Amino acid sequence: MNQPTANKKSRSYDPVRAAAVEAIILIEQGDQVESAVHNVTSGRSFRPLDRRFLLQLVNGTTKMRRRLDHMIRFYLAKPSGELPIKLANILRLGFYQLHFTDRIPAAAAVSESVNLAHHMTGRARASLVNAVMRASLRDPHKVKYADKEENPIKFLGDFYSYPDYFVRYCCEEFGFEKSEKLLAAYNQPPMVTYRVNFLKAKPDEVANILQKNEIDFSYGKYLPEFIHIEQGGLPLGDELIKTGKVLVQDESAGLAVRVLNPRPGNNVLDLTAAPGGKATYIAIRMRNKGRLTAVDKSHSRLELLVENAQRLGIKIIAPVAADVFDFQSEPFDRVLLDPPCSGWGTAGKHSDLRWSKKFEDIEHLAKIQAAMLDRAARLVKPGGTLVYSTCTIIRDENDQVVEEFLIRNKKFGLESASKFFDNELVTERGYVKTYPYIEKLDGAFCARLVRRMDS
């Protein structure tokens, strides 16, 4: 990412970096990245280049918050003391530029951080920023981490920048080596994926357009209509996205739709459907023939679903504004339930998630997920299919919810997804599970549940 130029004659600090500090503070106080960035850029005339740089700084500094704090402490006179929030975040932003970007010269990172501190905190604290950052450049090896063998949780948490509860879960679930691969993968720049809309284009047609514009890409390994873009941003957005030839969606999100296996002419229900990623893919797999009822309690998100469907040329989606527990209907051939979850499968794309989600949230969510699954089951025809899908890698929200459902609901059986995907994605029990170190997919889970004909 090239660094935007600032007009030094008219201002003594970079307003893009100042906006980044403001956004990072809002996120630390509980705001989400998208909302924080919107709030700090509203009314400011930033160029597209400025906005990309701002997002890089905000997302990177937010992701690496714990690692940055760990590093900064080694260069403070009072490492155990708590810094004022503006000073702390100016230092975080400065250290992120010094140690986690490769196109910002060290001298620029230091001088811009000092300028920001002058503007936002005063001369004395600007001197502290200058001293701390220059000490970091002189003696980078002063930073030490816990021993991997003696304290693996602290080492992984400090080095890769995650809360202890998530690191501990990963180590217990996957072991140290796989956990380290997983945590490192979530820290890589997220990759954009385009899902080709069969109603308007073919994968090779989109591929040819990308090739002509010298945009590197690769086909999805499991779903070839998904095309991974090997660069930042949303290239050719006007030509591909606005025309409805593609929709931005991770390949992992499409796996649940393939496991649902909707057919032309089916009567399908998508619960919690907005903003429509899976719903529109279902409709496209149905070749725009049949009926898809898309239920969501958010009117504004349903409006996005309708906009997406119109742009893609889909005509079979019937949006319904309703809570899952209030929705009434005759049973369906296929039902997809993608309930609210902790989102830990998408930690690479949502930098604030690792700090906004708490361990207690998971237990609460699992109860909601179980109740929603019971409700969804009542809307499936005998012989019909119910797919439970999440974008988390936490077993309590995935395997455990499904296994407990099967104990409560004898009318349903678990059908392996092995007829759709190979063993790299399908567990012995028959669940689909993905992780970011497998083909760069987001973390996801889905289970195919079939209602018995005689029930």
Q: State pLDDT tens for residues 251-303.
A: 999 999 999 999 999 999 999 999 999 999 999 999 999 999 999 999 999 99
pLDDT, residue 7, reads: 41
What is the chain's length? 455
Ramachandran angles phi, psi of 217, nearest 5°: -155, 170
Write b or e for each residue in 377-400: b if 16 or more Cβ atoms lie within 10 A of its Cβ, otherwise e.
bebbeeebbbbbbbbbbbbebbbe
Inform me whether the pLDDT recorded for 8 exceeds 80: no
Q: Is the CB of residue 280 less than 8 Å from the CB of residue 248?
A: no
Classify the phi-psi angles of 261: left when phi > 0, otherwise alpha if psi is within -120 to 50, otherwise beta. left
pLDDT, residue 3, reads: 52
In this prediction, residues 2-27 reach a mean pLDDT of: 76
Task: Say whether domain 15-142 belongs to CATH 1.10.940.10.
Answer: yes
Burial of 82 (0-12, 13-18, 19+ CB in 10 A): exposed
Q: What CATH class does 251-451 carry?
A: alpha beta
Task: Considering the chain, tell me which residue range(s) the CATH 1.10.940.10 domain(s) occupy.
Answer: 15-142
Tens digits of per-residue pLDDT, 125-165?
A: 999 999 999 999 999 999 999 999 999 999 999 999 999 99
Distance in angstroms (rounded) separating the CA atoms of residues 303 and 296: 10
Task: Considering the chain, tell me which residue range(s) the CATH 3.40.50.150 domain(s) occupy.
Answer: 251-451
Amino acid at 109: A
Tens digits of per-residue pLDDT, 313-362?
A: 999 999 999 999 999 999 999 999 999 999 999 999 999 999 999 999 99
Strand partners, 192: 229
Task: Considering the chain, tell me which residue range(s) the CATH 3.30.70 domain(s) occupy.
Answer: 193-244
Distance in angstroms (rounded) separating the CA atoms of residues 198 and 211: 19
Which residues are catalytic, by number? 391
CA torsion sign for 229, 234, 240, 241 is positive
Q: Is the CB of residue 133 less than 8 Å from the CB of residue 142?
A: no
Q: Is the CB of residue 341 less than 8 Å from the CB of residue 390?
A: yes
The CATH number corresponding to 193-244 among 3.30.70, 3.30.1360, 1.10.3470, 2.120.10 equals 3.30.70
Q: Dig out the tokens for 95 from the structure.
A: 């250290």
Tens digits of per-residue pLDDT, 93-121?
A: 999 999 999 999 999 999 999 999 999 99
Assess whether the previous peptide bond of 275 is cis (omega < 30° from 0): yes
Ramachandran angles phi, psi of 133, nearest 5°: -70, -40
Q: Average pLDDT, whole number, for the chain?
A: 95
Residue 430: other Cβ atoms inside 10 A? 16
